[in-house]
Amino acid sequence: MARIYTRTGDDGTTGLIGGKRVSKEAPVIEAGGSLDEVNAILGVVRSHPLPDHVERVLQTIQETLFTIGAELATPEEAERRGKLLSDEDVLKLESEIDAFEGRLQPLKQFVLPGGTVAGAELHLARAVARRAERQCVSLSRIQQINPRILCYLNRLSDLLFVLARCVNEH
């Protein structure tokens, strides 16, 4: 197994898929970093006891966030491998939002982030997902990205809000 450190990033650059090197502060790296942060927070959420359906949904989201990160880290000129985000991925989130929201009482006021530890962490993940979405919007202004990524991240923050409410109510 190769070592975890390579020293190639000591000059402030990092590699994209296909070998191209960019600054660690490049918009694509910022967006990918926020996606990684959402994913890590969801891993923390999943360390708590959760209803089975919530656990399965969060695992699927984590896997999809890896897909999005890989898609963003593959420059147009590099060979694309693996799955690309699809309309179906966005529709799955919408279906989950509808299903979970159907179990909740309608909102009558703003919800302050908090509640149980897992609920508060889901609110944190929601806020970071919104940052990732903003960064992907900025990135889309300078390079072509799959427009489904913006749709997915927009729905993701909504789903995480609904999941926070569900977990807190549970």
What is the spatial distance between Cα 43 and Cα 36, in angstroms, rounded to a whole number?
A: 10
In this predicted model, what pLDDT tens digit does every residue of 135-158 receive, in sequence order?
999 999 999 999 999 999 999 999
Longest Cα–Cα distance in the chain: 55
Q: Which of 98, 59, 87 is nearest to 148 (CA)?
A: 87
pLDDT given for residue 95 in this prediction: 97
Task: Summarize pLDDT for 93-135 with one digit per residue, the tens.
Answer: 999 999 999 998 888 878 888 899 999 999 999 999 999 999 9
Q: How confident is the model at residue 78 (pLDDT cuts 50, 70, 90)?
A: low
Q: What is the mean pLDDT of the chain?
A: 92
Query: Taking the domains of the chain in order of start, what are their residue ranges?
Result: 23-95+112-169
pLDDT for 4 equals 85
Give the pTM. 0.91
Angle, helices 147-169/87-101, rounded to nearest 10 degrees: 20
Q: How far apart are the first and last CA of the chain?
A: 43
The vertex-112 CA angle with 50 and 92, nearest 5°, equals: 50
What pLDDT was estimated at residue 1?
A: 61
CATH class of 23-95+112-169: mainly alpha
State residue 86's pLDDT score: 93
Cβ pair 167, 50 in contact under 8 A: yes
As a whole number of angstroms, the distance between CA 92 and CA 100 comes to: 12
